Structure 1
Amino acid sequence: MHPKLRNLDIRPIVYEGFPYILLRDPQRLTDQQLFVPQPLATVLAFFDGHHRLDEVPEVHRRFYGISIPDDLVHRLAEALDEAFMLDNDRSAARRAEALAEYRSAPFRAPALAGAGYPDDAKALWNLLQDYLEASDVAAEAVDWSAPIGLLSPHIDYPRGGRVYAHVWKRAAQAAREAELVILLGVDHYGADPFTLTRQNYATPYGVLPTETAIVDQLAAVLGEEAAFAGELRHRGEHSLELVAVWLHHLREGRPAPVVPILTGSFHPFMLNGDTPSADPKIGAVLEVLRRAMAGRRTLIVASGDLAHVGPAFGGAPLDAAGRRTLRAADEELLDAMRRGDAAGFFSAIRRVQNRNNVCGVAPIYLTLRLLGQSRGEPAGYAICPADEQNTSVVSVAGMVFQGEKF
């Protein structure tokens, strides 16, 4: 047996005063989570598919100078296997089963309903209406001779509600009248540049049908296997769900055809010297979407937050000076968005190697590219706390874009 970890969400935590490594599965083959004592975390590095299980203790001893009992390594492997966290035949069979369950369901069920927001339509309506009524912005008149875009947060509603309300209230007419909505969300746990699904998205208001004809065209240029390799991540990813709820709310529960796309990290472009504009897959996807948009009132939604800084994200505590620096960095990005400058936006990210952990890079960039020559109108900004000490923050912003005429 050569144990190999699957692609997991791995993060350090402290539980009852002791340090652990928390392991979670983004594809949710099981809802089980594992707490691995931090001293054992180094063993996980050798679960890479290249070492036999029985040789891991000796390899670990040679590399770290620390002896780990054989039975402890074996119990760790058994626990990982039981939770479908190893890349093997057992987890592959479970993945096939989970995928069949997901695809045969009438819709992708809301993952956060009842936890992140009310699962009752009336209670949800009251919550979102309260946010909207507290906003002092006015709805923008829409010129449907060109597509409309918007940047919406995907942070939780309690922290981001004011910014959500600003941007969605300003884009209310566009949301109500759109004949096609392209949802571009952050894939927080996937490296695939694009991850598709043919499944419909449900909210407490009903179902938003996925435009499968467009999904099929996208899959044709990406390749069926690549396009759907991480499809199960759609089940738990919040970036599309939280904006879909606002879209459905502004439409008063009326359906609209949507194209839900999860977008992976642009980090490789920060290392290899290439630019997203030269990537043939990105170009092919954008061309398919542009053809689909032609002649239809199209709303493009970039679901993305901005900076994630401070100890909660592996950085230094943020003080008043750090907040001013953060605001200036965000303003540079927002200025590029206002100009509709996709290249300038990405250049500002790459110049600093995304040191502020902006998680909306791909959706924002792709939206700007789809819109062409556009102009953006700001619609809210907030710096939200991300730890109890208020030394970690997430910044969020809203913006409405008018695209170029066809």
Structure 2
Amino acid sequence: MNDQAPTSKFDPGLPHHARPKLRPVRGFPAQMGEQMVLGLADQRQISERVVFMAPAVQLILPLMDGNRTVDQIVAEVGRGLTHEMLEGVIAQLDDAALLFGPRFEELLVKVRKEFDGSAILPPASTAAFVDAITAQALGESASEEDKAAAGPGKLREVMDKWIGEALKDADEPSFNALPRAVVAPHLDYSRGWLNYAHVYGRMRVADRPDRVVILGTNHFGFGTGVVACDKGYQTALGTCEVDAELLEKLKANLGPDHAAKLLANRYDHEREHSIELHVPWIQHCLGAGPDGKHCKVLGVLVHDPAVDNGNSYDGQGLALQAFIDAMKKAIAEVGGRTLIVSSADLSHAGAAFGDKIQTLAGEEKEAVAFRNKVFQHDRDMIELVRGNKPDELVAAMSWQQNPTRWCSTGNLVATLKLVEPGDIQLLNYTAAMDQQGLGMVSSMAMVMN
């Protein structure tokens, strides 16, 4: 059952071993030698450990709910499962902090202490990308010092190449003035570069904003409502400090109780990519000011309002409308130019996301029909965005139960309600799919004034 030996052993005297409760995990297929195994990773990204087990463990995991004993799980699964095998699984999961218990709690305290100990979030997703392009340019044998020195230039070079490719045939390759809001993806750069470039490439000659509010999606965190970050962001291109003045105005307008909800799960931003991936584009295309500093930013994660009409999922988090009312007032109070970025991916379709279709690739009738159905749904929902109909968008997503898994309805709705635009233009729409056709993610580039 186990493919890795845990460093700690099963202890029947430990309550979380006697009645194990699995934390939220993400499973994925992997190959070890000639064997297919199941990889398990922390869905919340608190633990960086990944464990690999025999696929049969899928029969056990749903039963690890904190209520059943080891004896009960063995009896319920049957099929040759022994106490010794299950004890090994429990020890391995606990070793990786994938069970609720003291090990996970200690790790959580450590992660949160480190988060609160710095005013700036270090790069994560963007650092991995810069490492990859510098290694490709300099070779794997290049020193860390050489890669660090070359990284900023290589990143700017790649971005300029993407911008040139995206805008080479554009009728209007630049904005006449700074937009009030834009929509761009949070896909990894290799899949989303076209729509990042369509938006940010057009802002290179626009007036520089005083701040950028980036509204993202909470993919991994604990927050059930709107969650703000009280930190700035660092990338290979420099640092964007947090707009502390705007954050303080926002908190004051929310009042003590709602302000506490806004930041209670600030730790969700630690490994959240939907904010960070925009920061290098902001730094590169908007540049530094006369003081040599990049634009100040405020990162905010927005939940899905289609789940409960904008209320937090469990009633404990910050509701969407309360955030919108307070943020709109805060932006007016701080004055100056504020750019709002909706960091939005759209449909997530294919077998990788649970759809019952073998592949989306190719020209087989089933694949073509499935892709067209996704594209039609995207067109219908995008028309609601273009028509500045946020409430109708929420109603449609709720009624249809979000059939293609749009993951950013929340920040799109928040952007529309904060800006109340009179003019909305779709600059580009695209969908990225892996070669096997297992997964397809769509996104758009949009500007609001």
- Into which bin does the TM-score normalised by the smaller protein fall? 0.7 to 0.9
Aligned-pair CA distance for 1:399: 0.2
User: Which whole-Å deviations, capped at 9, do the CAs of 1:245-274 have from their partners, x for residues lacking one?
Assistant: 2111112244212111122344633xxxx4
User: In structure 1, what is the Cα distance between the partners aligned to 2:310 and 2:48?
Assistant: 37
After superposition, where does 1:7-406 map in structure 2 within 5 Å?
7-8=24-25, 10-16=26-32, 18-58=35-75, 60-61=76-77, 66-117=79-130, 118=133, 120-134=151-165, 135-136=167-168, 137=170, 138-142=173-177, 148-172=180-204, 176-190=207-221, 192-216=224-248, 217=251, 220-222=256-258, 224=260, 226-253=261-288, 254-266=293-305, 268-269=307-308, 274=309, 281-294=319-332, 295-315=335-355, 316=357, 317-318=359-360, 319-385=367-433, 387-390=434-437, 392-402=439-449
Query: Which amino acid letter does the alignment assign opposite residue 251 of structure 1?
Result: L
Evaluate the alpha carbon distance shift between residue 351 and residue 29 of structure 1 in structure 2; reply closer, same or farther with a 3 A threshold.
Answer: closer
> What is the aligned partner in structure 1 of residue 23 from structure 2?
6
User: Which whole-Å deviations, capped at 9, do the CAs of 1:66-105 have from their partners, x for residues lacking one?
Assistant: 4521112111111111111222233112211121112213
Aligned-pair CA distance for 1:181: 1.3
User: In structure 2, what is the Cα distance between the partners aligned to 1:325 and 1:27?
Assistant: 32
Aligned-pair CA distance for 1:114: 4.2
Query: Which amino acid letter does the alignment assign opposite residue 371 of structure 2?
Result: R
User: Which whole-Å deviations, capped at 9, do the CAs of 1:166-211 have from their partners, x for residues lacking one?
Assistant: 111234455x521121111111123522222212111111111112
Runs ≥4 in structure 1, deviation > 6 angstroms? none
Query: Which amino acid letter does the alignment assign opposite residue 196 of structure 1?
Result: A
Evaluate the alpha carbon distance shift between residue 112 and residue 324 of structure 1 in structure 2; reply closer, same or farther with a 3 A threshold.
Answer: same
User: Which whole-Å deviations, capped at 9, do the CAs of 1:17-45 have from their partners, x for residues lacking one?
Assistant: 65544322244443211123221122111
Structure 2, unaligned runs of 5 or more: 1-14, 134-147, 361-366
Q: Which moved more, 1:45-54 or 1:178-187?
A: 45-54
Secondary structure of 2:93 counterpart: helix
Answer 1 or 2: higher relative contact order, Cα 8 Å, separation at least 6.
Answer: 1
User: In structure 1, what is the Cα distance between the partners aligned to 2:62 and 2:36?
Assistant: 18
User: In structure 2, what is the Cα distance between the partners aligned to 1:214 and 1:51?
Assistant: 49
Evaluate the alpha carbon distance shift between residue 199 and residue 52 of structure 1 in structure 2; reply closer, same or farther with a 3 A threshold.
Answer: farther
Q: Is the 8 A contact 1:208 1:255 kept in 2?
A: yes
What TM-score do the two structures reach when normalised by structure 1?
A: 0.86
User: In structure 1, what is the Cα distance between the partners aligned to 2:305 and 2:129?
Assistant: 28
Secondary structure of 1:399 counterpart: strand
Secondary structure of 1:30 counterpart: coil
Identity of aligned residues (%): 24
| Count, aligned residues | 386
Secondary structure of 1:388 counterpart: coil
Structure 1, unaligned runs of 5 or more: none
Query: Which amino acid letter does the alignment assign opposite residue 284 of structure 2?
Result: H
User: In structure 2, what is the Cα distance between the partners aligned to 1:196 and 1:305?
Assistant: 19
Evaluate the alpha carbon distance shift between residue 29 and residue 159 of structure 1 in structure 2; reply closer, same or farther with a 3 A threshold.
Answer: closer
Bigger CA radius of gyration: 2
Q: Is the 8 A contact 2:127 2:235 kept in 1?
A: no
What TM-score do the two structures reach when normalised by structure 2?
A: 0.79
Secondary structure of 1:250 counterpart: helix
> What is the aligned partner in structure 1 of residue 363 from structure 2?
none
> What is the aligned partner in structure 1 of residue 11 from structure 2?
none
User: In structure 1, what is the Cα distance between the partners aligned to 2:427 and 2:122?
Assistant: 30
The RMSD of aligned alpha carbons is 2.5
Secondary structure of 2:447 counterpart: strand
User: In structure 1, what is the Cα distance between the partners aligned to 2:108 and 2:211?
Assistant: 31
